[in-house]
Structure 1
Amino acid sequence: MSARLLRVEVHPDSLFGPENMPYGVFAPPEGEFRVGVRLGNTVLDLVVLLGDPIFARRDLNAFLAAGPARWRTVRDRLRELAETELPVDALHPVDAVDLALPVRIGDYVDFYASIDHATNLGRLFRPDSEPLLPNWRHLPVGYHGRAGTVVVSETPVIRPQGQRRTDSGAPEFGPSQRLDIEAELGFVVGTGSPLGVPVGVDEFAEHVFGVALVNDWSARDIQAWEYQPLGPFLGKSFSTSISAWITPLAALAEARIPLPTQSPEPLPYLRGTDDYGLDIDLTVSWNGEVVAHPPYSRMYWSPAQMLAHLTANGAALRPGDLYASGTISGPEPDQRGSFIELSWGGTRPVTVRGESRTFLADGDEVTITATAPGTAGRRIGLGQVSGRILPARNT
């Protein structure tokens, strides 16, 4: 008896048409986790659809390691199948499945690539000095984060505790009182690289599989006390959320745009022949109310330059490694991708659901979404990354 077939109907206005088809890891009701792609409001089970054991896993890492030629072959086949009738047992409503962290992350690096964000923070923290530090226009500034606390969207965020400076100048230990977000774009490494061999700007597409939305939750009061002289630590390492769906770079071909003028000209290892930025628009919602529209198109350093700098000292890449752009902000107040900027250090409260707010309270929920131009003449979606704040736990 042949399997029952059904064509997946995709609304013309869907952000998840066959030109998108992001990858994720899902479990159907009473089933095991495996790899799927999203088409409209349906998840396609790649184990059933393609019969390939590489997809019968709880993460995308084996597929990522297979490299660009395999990525293209599978994507082309899936786009062909999306136009046909498919086995019903390969189709699952997106609202009926559980979604997991899509990749097993070995390393996580966070950059500081937005000139508007860096300028805003410079004006906040150093009002009597130049907002940008001397090295900022010469290299993509970044720090090595904690991969073990990267979590999938919808995972609750427990308010972190740490040392905070008091008015007396002495520190105290307790829950963060200035809990913040950072709306970012993450880049998921596919093909690794050998230790000691830098990756050039023009090799970006040979190593990076796709993008994910990122919220790098930040405890500003803990960070402010600890970051001098060595940089972020406990103020950043407690939780970083990423979207459940990884959008392939191939789906963003129409989102490529020229980079802004970089002055002074970057050093040779940060220059390429076909480098580009991305025209991606983010939306930040706080307790269901839209508060910001950060534009990724304003980013100063490109994804390829970030990767080249990350590996310039010979650091190796591994499938599933994640690096993120840093906070995405624009020049206008409603384009700021963090609440420390949006409330200008807490001095200009934001009205959220009729309440005057500066930083996150317990019970608050933040959702970040994004869209980009797609190859079919309509916009595509990058899913969403959401998280709700839970109270600090007693030690």
Structure 2
Amino acid sequence: MTVTSWVPVPAGSDFPVTNLPYGVFEPAGGPARVGVAIGEHVLDLAAVLDEETFAQPSLNTFMAQGRERWQQTRARVTDLLTDEAHRSEVEPALYRLGDVRLLLPFSVADYVDFYASEQHASNIGRMFRPDSPPLMPNWKHLPVGYHGRAGTVVASDTPIVRPSGQRKPPQAEAPMFGPSQRLDIEAEVGFVVGAGSDLGTAVSTEDFAEHVFGVCLVNDWSARDIQAWEYVPLGPFLGKSFATSVSPWIVPLEALQQARVSTPEQDPQPLPYLREKQPWGLDLDLEVSLNDEVIARPPFDALYWSPAQQLAHMTINGACLRTGDFYASGTVSGSEPDQRGSLIELSWNGENPLTLKDGSQRVFLADGDTVTIRATAPGAEGTRIGFGEVTGTIHPAREELS
């Protein structure tokens, strides 16, 4: 029998009762607190579960309690929203999403960004190393990544100020300073750690679900010209650290069991610590819009390295996990031109500018542009569940920084 909620859920909603993603919201005149999205509403968990755990401006306290607690809470919330007998007690704790402010859902401990899409890595390699193999020799042996800046992970709808920095165009004799001229997007998927691990131990691919609480959408804004000048020999720094936007809803792993798929064939076979007994690839369909016009539909199921493999690699040296640790997939791109998750790929480094419906063209982002990333996945009982959206609008560089 199909499970339905007594809360009205419009057809095509991202948030049927088979989803129940967690977020942090601020009602008018009230303090921030933890809630669960259902249809066009958010349920105040502190009110219905009567727990201080949820009367907080962050998911971290709840996430730290571990998988058994996550499962118990999900089961209880599902019961409250599906059994009509609970309606009178639960209905007063429902807020319309349009009447609340959604906040950054968790306090970020550390942030790591991976480079796990073979199609994206190959495209970048072909652009910048046309006379060499597109992938570096290590790429198919380990998930390549770098440590980002946790303090500039921001909530969806946070204005994105065009960064300034050093850049050196190929024809220039010396570097110059000023606003980035090649501001880009990166459509990514993020993974939020709930339960930590001890320093000096590694987390296996089999223990992925014991530590990762849930999944969100990410736009890892990138200043390609600043990045190109600075990244040799130590990799991304100021070209990436100015802002990383995340969606306000964290979809729990429990809601994504029907979305699990195997990664593409991995050849050569990874070393033992990276092998998966159970697959943790995910069948997610992303959609990237620029000024309300869809420009790309990247498929996450094409990702070469799974999130479980990324986590195993991140901890194999004994690095510990902390509640609120966050890592992202890197740009998600598919094999087709309209499946590329960054403007540098969509325009092929400027050789093929995008023409929008209004006749304007883009190679990189202009001030005033708004980028929105959405995604859906198969859910339980034949439903389709969504992640909400992560969005940001480009604001001009600040004069005092240019």
- Distance in 1 (alpha carbons) for counterparts of 2:154 and 2:73: 27
Query: Which range moved further: 371-380 or 220-229?
Result: 371-380
The aligned counterpart of 1:392 is 397
Give the CA deviation at 1:376. 2.2
* Structure 2: unaligned runs, 5 residues or longer: none
The aligned counterpart of 2:146 is 143
The aligned counterpart of 2:14 is 15
Give deviations 1:41-68, integer Å, cap 9, x for gaps: 0000001111011001000001000000
- Distance in 1 (alpha carbons) for counterparts of 2:182 and 2:313: 31
TM-score normalized by the length of structure 1: 0.97
Give the CA deviation at 1:169. 3.1
Match of 1:99 among 99, 102, 105: 102
Q: Amino acid of the residue matched to residue 146 of structure 1?
A: R
- Distance in 2 (alpha carbons) for counterparts of 1:169 and 1:230: 23
Query: Which range moved further: 218-227 or 252-261?
Result: 252-261
Q: Amino acid of the residue matched to residue 46 of structure 1?
A: L
Q: Does 1:191 align with 2:195?
A: yes
The aligned counterpart of 1:3 is none
**What SS does the corresponding residue of 2:35 show, helix, strand or coil?**
strand
The aligned counterpart of 2:66 is 67
Give the CA deviation at 1:282. 0.3
The aligned counterpart of 1:121 is 124
**What SS does the corresponding residue of 1:260 show, helix, strand or coil?**
coil
* Structure 1: unaligned runs, 5 residues or longer: 1-5
The aligned counterpart of 2:368 is 363
Q: Amino acid of the residue matched to residue 120 of structure 2?
A: H
Match of 2:263 among 252, 256, 259: 259
**What SS does the corresponding residue of 2:380 show, helix, strand or coil?**
coil
Give deviations 1:199-223, integer Å, cap 9, x for gaps: 1111100000100000000000000
Give me the CA root mean square deviation: 1.0
Give the CA deviation at 1:10. 1.5
Query: Which range moved further: 348-357 or 125-134?
Result: 348-357
Give deviations 1:105-124, integer Å, cap 9, x for gaps: 01000000000000000000
Give the CA deviation at 1:276. 2.4
- Distance in 2 (alpha carbons) for counterparts of 1:259 and 1:121: 21
Give the CA deviation at 1:9. 1.3
- 2:261–2:279: 8 Å Cα contact kept in structure 1? no
Give the CA deviation at 1:168. 2.3
Q: Amino acid of the residue matched to residue 269 of structure 2?
A: E
The aligned counterpart of 2:280 is 276
- Distance in 2 (alpha carbons) for counterparts of 1:349 and 1:360: 11
**What SS does the corresponding residue of 2:146 show, helix, strand or coil?**
strand
The aligned counterpart of 1:50 is 49
**What SS does the corresponding residue of 1:87 show, helix, strand or coil?**
helix
The aligned counterpart of 1:206 is 210
Give deviations 1:270-296, integer Å, cap 9, x for gaps: 113113210000000001100000000
Q: Amino acid of the residue matched to residue 110 of structure 1?
A: D
- Distance in 1 (alpha carbons) for counterparts of 2:381 and 2:97: 22
TM-score normalized by the length of structure 2: 0.96
Give the CA deviation at 1:14. 2.2
The aligned counterpart of 2:79 is 80
Q: Amino acid of the residue matched to residue 175 of structure 1?
A: P
Q: Does 1:161 align with 2:164?
A: yes
**What SS does the corresponding residue of 1:314 show, helix, strand or coil?**
coil
**What SS does the corresponding residue of 2:192 show, helix, strand or coil?**
strand
- 2:18–2:379: 8 Å Cα contact kept in structure 1? yes
Give the CA deviation at 1:87. 3.2
- 1:180–1:340: 8 Å Cα contact kept in structure 2? yes
Q: Amino acid of the residue matched to residue 209 of structure 1?
A: F
- 1:201–1:275: 8 Å Cα contact kept in structure 2? no
- Distance in 2 (alpha carbons) for counterparts of 1:235 and 1:125: 17
**What SS does the corresponding residue of 1:106 show, helix, strand or coil?**
coil
Give deviations 1:291-319, integer Å, cap 9, x for gaps: 00000010000000000000111111011
- 1:16–1:40: 8 Å Cα contact kept in structure 2? yes
- Distance in 1 (alpha carbons) for counterparts of 2:230 and 2:336: 30
Q: Amino acid of the residue matched to residue 80 of structure 1?
A: D
